[in-house]
Amino acid sequence: MSLVQKIEDTVVNLLRLAVTRLPKDVKDALKTAYEKEVDETAKTQLKAILDNIMLAEKTERPMCQDTGVIIFYVKVGNEFKELGKLPEILRTATIRATKEIPLRPNAVHPISQKNSGDNTGRYIPYINWEIIQGDFLEITAFPKGGGSENMSRLGMLKPGEGIDGMKKFVIDTVLHAGGQPCPPVILGVGIGGGADIAMKLAKKALLRPITERHEDPEIAKLEQELLEAVNESGIGPMGLGGRTTALGVNIEYAHRHPASYPVGVVVQCWAARRASARIYSDGAVEYLTHEVGEK
């Protein structure tokens, strides 16, 4: 099999894994939330979510009918062969996955309102590139649902408001969203950079397993503090009340302009779908987020 074909097959596989099987950290967090919950209504919601996840795995069907807009995060080694063909491969794989899995066609032209029917379009699937050293490629498929995305917000705060302003903005975003983004949610928070950078970092923060804290102990502390605060809101699973409103808060930051303090919050629903694999130039494939048997 050619390397190009191998990459295409792997990407289709990643999309299938992402929409049918949640990563272990998210599944474990939902189970813990269920065990910790005392509110009967909240327990019912969490139990149904867990049953739904199990059933999706068993029947290999998408866990949610909204299979999201297709986003890829690609880290590519400078020595990796076929670098130039990657955009085309990701597009072809997306079209194939849409038919084979199937995924809901979710790419709509913003002016004509026409749905392309195959999850591709201008800039879609969206690809985030990162160049690294080496002869391998790391691809993460990240299908992101629309309901939770709609609750995401950008705040261009005054530097004088500082960290307190940032905390307040995150809390206000969650309280404003209530049950709409299908909680329990995961919050990706991006601080600094500029308007676009803060939002990009907020979404990128969602790639990190919620069991891992930021390497900077100050940021790690903020993540924990905000998670506890959000869970005191009482919004609970599906906004019907309860202890668990969020499963995790992941923060990422960049240095900022002296005059700006951008804060991006990207809200992720309980169906926190992501799947990654590493592909070497010799065609060897290693799955990073899911246990996969030889195909």
Residues that bind other proteins (CB under 8 A): 40-41, 44-45, 47-49, 51-52, 55-56, 59, 61-66, 102, 104, 145, 147, 164, 167-168, 171, 175, 178-180, 182, 225, 229-230, 232-236, 238-241, 269-271
- Cα–Cα distance for residue pair 21/27, rounded to 1 Å: 9
User: Nearest distance from residue 233's CB to other proteins, in Å?
Assistant: 5
Angle among Cα 125, 294, 59 to the nearest 5 degrees reads 65
**Based on CB atoms, which residue is closest to other proteins, 87 or 241?**
241
- Cα–Cα distance for residue pair 173/168, rounded to 1 Å: 8
**Based on CB atoms, which residue is closest to other proteins, 58 or 295?**
58
CB burial of residue 219 (10 Å; 0-12, 13-18, 19+): middle
**Based on CB atoms, which residue is closest to other proteins, 130 or 232?**
232
User: Nearest distance from residue 72's CB to other proteins, in Å?
Assistant: 22
User: Nearest distance from residue 46's CB to other proteins, in Å?
Assistant: 9
User: Nearest distance from residue 112's CB to other proteins, in Å?
Assistant: 16
User: Nearest distance from residue 226's CB to other proteins, in Å?
Assistant: 8
Pair of tokens at residue 83 = 């670098």
User: Nearest distance from residue 104's CB to other proteins, in Å?
Assistant: 6
**Based on CB atoms, which residue is closest to other proteins, 239 or 283?**
239
**Bridge partners of residue 248, in order along the sequence:** 186
Helices (H), 21-100: 24-36, 40-59, 86-100
- Strand segments (E) across the chain: 71-77, 126-132, 136-141, 153-157, 185-193, 246-256, 261-268, 275-280, 285-287
- Cα–Cα distance for residue pair 83/66, rounded to 1 Å: 31
Do 159 and 259 contact (CB within 8 A), yes or no?
A: yes
Q: One-letter amino acid identity for 235?
A: I
**Based on CB atoms, which residue is closest to other proteins, 39 or 82?**
39
**Based on CB atoms, which residue is closest to other proteins, 51 or 88?**
51
**Based on CB atoms, which residue is closest to other proteins, 40 or 215?**
40
Task: Please choose, from the candidates 26, 261, 84, 256, the residue with its C-alpha nearest in 3D space to the C-alpha of residue 160.
Answer: 261
User: Nearest distance from residue 287's CB to other proteins, in Å?
Assistant: 23
